[in-house]
Chain A
């Protein structure tokens, strides 16, 4: 199966000032604090999540994925990770659980043979932090 990238018209107009990841995180924390979380949602560990975002930034996950809270880059080779925690299966294949996700982030081809996502230069703890961030993304 060959996956194709769908090219969207790049956002050229005036967007809203996405005030940085710090702002996004704060907003996230506030929103999730006010709201009764649905039972299916895993409550993120906020320290891990903010470490995770910093790592995402540093490693450059954005080169392929659009990730909420990350202003740049917003690569379109891989799927957008907005609303990630609502996705039932990782890569349409694996159960969406933190441990599995961390392992997938670190070495996707080992977890799901044939995945085009390459292994990432991350330790297990770092991958877990990134997974924590991805679960914290609230897209509702």
Chain B
């Protein structure tokens, strides 16, 4: 599942949205330019060293410098510059206020994801997974809780730094559904190499279902992502919401896991909405069971990996803030993992 996100074709050359698409065209043109100029220089060098005298004489004068070193690059660079500046302009269109808003906070070494309504209030918390509808412009409000991180989903857009004390804005938009990998691109110490996330683009209908389910499960009264004056493509919560999903009854081992989660210390750092677990230091685990990855985009998420993560997270991702719960018996860890995996 994760491995399908990368590799060939390279994400930078495989755009999944309007912003990255324009850059991809630019990238191909630039690559072609670089190849042609390299060839010119190599051929010129070959002539200079081994070429016939007639060609050498033509090359061996100051005219070569004027043409090859000044006129030709001057023209090429000017054209590229104008194109690049125009593209920069079009990629940084002003925010209209009608885009979907998601706040992403870089933390050492994971991403806090907060879905906002159009007033900027947090509708739902998540971590390391961003769900967006296709063909809807999304403005990400990026910031950091500690050091500088950088947000990058190559399929969707260029990167943008997440800087403490500032909010930087990044537009993304997907034009096809899919799961797109992302990473932290600014060195942020320790296990920076293992700080990733996934962006999941859904068909708007599917996304609506996803959002509505969670919002209701949260018991929040706020309508998600703006109400009335939101762009037409944006799903609006209206009366025909799907029926509320009855909460899974927690019985047996899972119930024991839930009690353990509260008592052994997990709740001090993690929040699970609707329970007394209210910690804010670590990722919100309200819907952890439905996430695709564990450990900030590095492991598939299922009961087995959840157990391994709780039991010995330091062996999997050394240096992170979460300690290995290696003093607990495996049965207890299994119980907690079982309960967490039910938090869909």
Chain A interface (Cβ within 8 Å of chain B)? Answer: 2-5, 7, 10, 58-64, 72-78, 116-121
A60-B308, A77-B333 given; A118·B316 CB < 8 A: no
B302, A121: Cβ atoms closer than 8 Å: yes
- Chain B hits for A10, CB < 8 A: 314-315, 318
A10-B315, A10-B318, A118-B334 given; A64·B329 CB < 8 A: no
Beta-carbon contacts under 8 Å, B56-101 to A? none
- Chain A hits for B229, CB < 8 A: none
- Among B305, B307, B312, B315, chain A packs the most CB atoms within 10 A around the CB of B315
A77-B307, A78-B308 given; A5·B334 CB < 8 A: no
B300, A77: Cβ atoms closer than 8 Å: no
Number of interface residues of B (CB under 8 A): 29
- Chain B hits for A118, CB < 8 A: 302-304, 307, 334, 337-338
Q: How far is the CB of B89 from chain A (nearest CB, A)?
A: 43
B329, A76: Cβ atoms closer than 8 Å: no
Contact residues of B: prevailing secondary structure? helix
A76, B304: Cβ atoms closer than 8 Å: no
B300, A60: Cβ atoms closer than 8 Å: yes
Interface membership of chain B positions 317-344, coded 1 if the CB is closer than 8 angstroms to chain A and 0 otherwise: 1100000101001110110011000000
A75, B3: Cβ atoms closer than 8 Å: no
> In the complex, which of the residues B1, B299, B305, B331 contacts A116, with contact meaning CB atoms closer than 8 Å?
B331
- Chain B hits for A121, CB < 8 A: 302
Contact residues of A: prevailing secondary structure? loop
- Which 4 A/B pairs are nearest by Cβ-Cβ distance? A63-B308, A77-B311, A118-B303, A64-B308
Q: What are 19 sample pairs from A and B whose C-beta atoms fall under 8 A apart?
A: A2-B329, A2-B331, A3-B330, A4-B330, A5-B312, A5-B330, A58-B3, A59-B300, A59-B305, A60-B302, A62-B308, A62-B316, A63-B305, A73-B316, A77-B311, A116-B330, A118-B303, A118-B307, A118-B337
CA distance A103 to B308 in the complex (A): 20
> In the complex, which of the residues B299, B315, B317 contacts A60, with contact meaning CB atoms closer than 8 Å?
B299
